[in-house]
Amino acid sequence: MALTQVYGIIGSPMEHTLSPIMHNTAFKELGLNCVYHAFNVEKQNAERAIKGALALGFGGLNVTIPLKELALQYVNPDTWSRRIGSINTIDSKGNGYTTDGVGTVRALKEAGVRVRDSNVLMLGAGGAAKSIAAQLLTEGARVLVANRTKSRAVILAEKMVTENISCGCGDIEPLGLDKVNSVIGEAQVLINTTSVGMNGVAEGQTLVRAEQMHKDLVVFDIVYSPLETELLKEARKAGCMTIDGLKMLVHEGAAAFKIWTGFDAPIRLMESAARAALRG
């Protein structure tokens, strides 16, 4: 009998991840002899975890907080993820990819949001933020990157320029979080890429409040646990359209699934399985 192909997600914390339910649903639907598990891996164990999984013949891995940038050095990144400096997907040969940006932009488009020529205010400058900023710039958006540690936002913006992802002529601007108030009025989209608001990390917190928002702002939180984060509650109070993190999870997951299996993922089914799991 053929061996079951093992897939997994590594990162920390892992208690609330919906990636296993989502991918296992997809494997079952397509009749693939595969299984997907979550593994809690801290930074100091990232290298051994990745090399161990590859040595064990895993079909692939997803990489999440806080390993997206660190993991890059333990794989052969494809050109795009190397230029960006972040990965969230590894295949069985140890090649690395980033699908966060594609997932985010697909989720925005699915919600009917125009990306080209939009001003996007992005909170955070970590691994996910890099991938999202790069994709937004490629699709013609202007990106304002606001981060707690401003120097990290500056590094992100400089990377987009040195890698020719952005021309740097005002299409990407690094800021500290203290500048959010002065730029949010000109933004059409606000995306939280930080872990603020996530269960077990910074529960019930938000970097932006309703009184700072305007009703034409689309507010997208890539955190999906809880599904309605404090940021999205505030956005609802302000009358904004909201997009929750499951939309991003499903689209970035579908892109990873395609890399691993070559098949188009059953997106709707993956989303409904993940939503059902969240409802308990």
Q: Which residues are catalytic?
A: 68
Judged by beta carbon, residue 197 or residue 266, the one nearer ligand ATR is 197
* Binds ligand ATR by CB under 6 A, chosen from 202, 210, 227, 241: 202
Q: Return the number of the residue (29 or 176) whose C-beta is nearest ligand ATR.
A: 176
Cα–Cα distance list, 271 to 97, 112, 139, 251 (Å)? 22, 18, 25, 9
Binding pattern for the stretch 112-141 against ligand ATR, x by CB under 6 A and - elsewhere: ------------xxxxxx------------
Nearest to 119 by CA among 250, 218, 226, 205: 218
Alpha carbons 207 and 194: distance in angstroms, whole number: 9
| Cβ distance to ligand ATR smaller for residue 221 or 273 | 221
CB of 67 to ligand ATR, least distance (A): 7
* Binding-site member from 8, 20, 59, 66 for ligand ATR (CB under 6 A): 66
* Contact call for residue 149 and ligand ATR (CB under 6 A): yes
Is 236 a binding residue for ligand ATR by CB under 6 A? The answer is no
- 7, 58, 62, 68: residue in contact with ligand ATR (rule CB under 6 A): 68
Which span (113-121, 146-154, 244-252, 267-275) binds ligand ATR, by CB under 6 A? Answer: 146-154
Own/partner pairs, 26-30, CB within 8 angstroms, 24+ separation: 26/257, 26/265, 26/266, 26/269, 26/270, 29/266, 29/269, 30/261, 30/263, 30/266
Q: Which of 12, 25, 147, 206 binds ligand ATR (CB under 6 A)?
A: 147
| Residue (25 or 206) nearer to ligand ATR, CB | 206
- Taking CB under 6 A as the binding criterion, the range among 44-52, 135-143, 167-175, 195-203 that sits at the site for ligand ATR is 195-203
CB of 63 to ligand ATR, least distance (A): 9
Q: Judged by CB under 6 A, does residue 266 bind ligand ATR?
A: no
Q: Which is nearer to ligand ATR, 248 or 273 (CB)?
A: 248
Size of the residue set binding ligand ATR (CB under 6 A): 20
Binding site for ligand ATR (CB under 6 A): 65-66, 68-69, 124-129, 147-149, 152, 193-196, 202, 207
